[in-house]
Amino acid sequence: MLRKVERRPPWALEKSMSPALTARAWLRERRKLITLLDADGASDRPPRPALKAIRALRKKRRPQRILRRPSLTMLSLGLADAAASRPPWSPDPEITETVISLRRLPGAFDGLRIVHLTDIHHSIFTPLEEVERAVYLANRLEPDLVALTGDYVTFSPAYIEPVARALGKLKARHGAFAVLGNHDFQVDADGITRALRSYHIRVLRNSRRPLRAGKQTLWIVGVDDLWWNSDDLPAALKAVPARDAKILLCHNPLGIWQASRHAIDLVLSGHTHGGQVRLPGFRHLYRSKLGERFVDGWNRLHATQIYVSRGIGKVIVPIRFDCPSEIACLNLRRGRSSAGLN
């Protein structure tokens, strides 16, 4: 089907057309191709180079996002003033709130509020005060569960104990769950695991924990970092019933390719920092094998949804530009997927 479209590029063949008509023809053909891509469904593999640019043009179908501006939820939390008056140069993270609907979410977990923190990168670039401020703001959101998706420190093991102690102050009804990122493996994966566990944070290293409410179960699954080839999703899913709803914590959003093949309902990731530095004319400095598709915010692959947070800290350069740090508050609802595509 794709070959049929590519065989007849009207903007190349119809030389006599005016520029306006040529542009219209290009748009018409692009729409056709996008329709074909939708009909075929997304590939299990990363987009091929020829299709990557076209897919980047697709209008993102995002779920309802309700906290970019103050909302009733924020008012109830007493955070509206803080968000409304948050100047662009504020050192505080931006608090975003997104409603994500999951078809298989058990009724008992309808309305579950997850606060997602990632890429804290405690170091000289991200001092402890910034980490403690993020923990304070996260607690004010009164989460049911805290998800931590890796990169707690940069460069030195000296930062492990302070960051673990700060994160140990996170409060959530179901507790805090964590996975490790590439920087954690670079510094000391086992040391960070021990430190986080000593503050009662459940570190999932290719393992899972069930949340139970009566006979209903929601699984929290976590894998080690992909860059270090230490992830093992099949092992993490061992003994997890296929029909149960599953949320995967995976530092690198590339994990969505495997997650979609294992019927994961929702992936929470970081790693990209949302680009960290965004310059006019360039949406992100960050480029991955996925192009810009999974750099930040919500997206999906087949029935698997993903949220990629911009994270808290900074690496390589001690600044963020046009890309504030983020505390993502995710409200899970039972129902059709957020974009109505499941």
List of residues contacting Fe ion (CB under 5 A):
119, 151
Q: How far is the CB of 312 from Fe ion (least distance, A)?
A: 9
Nearer to Fe ion, 106 or 150 (CB): 150
Q: Indicate the residue among 130 and 151 with the shorter CB distance to Fe ion.
A: 151
Under a CB-based contact definition with an 8 Å cutoff, are residues 96 and 65 in contact?
yes
Nearer to Fe ion, 29 or 292 (CB): 292
As a whole number of angstroms, the distance between CA 186 and CA 172 comes to 29
Residue 236: CB minimum distance to Fe ion, A: 21
Nearer to Fe ion, 246 or 271 (CB): 271
CB of 121 to Fe ion, least distance (A): 6
| Minimum gap (Å) between residue 150 Cβ and Fe ion | 7
Instruction: Tell me the closest approach of the beta carbon of residue 181 to Fe ion, in angstroms.
Output: 6
Residue 122 or 208: which CB sits closer to Fe ion? 122
Whose Cβ is closer to Fe ion: residue 206's or residue 276's?
276
CB of 149 to Fe ion, least distance (A): 9
Distance CA 186, CA 256 (A): 23
Task: Name beta bridge partners: 202.
Answer: 177
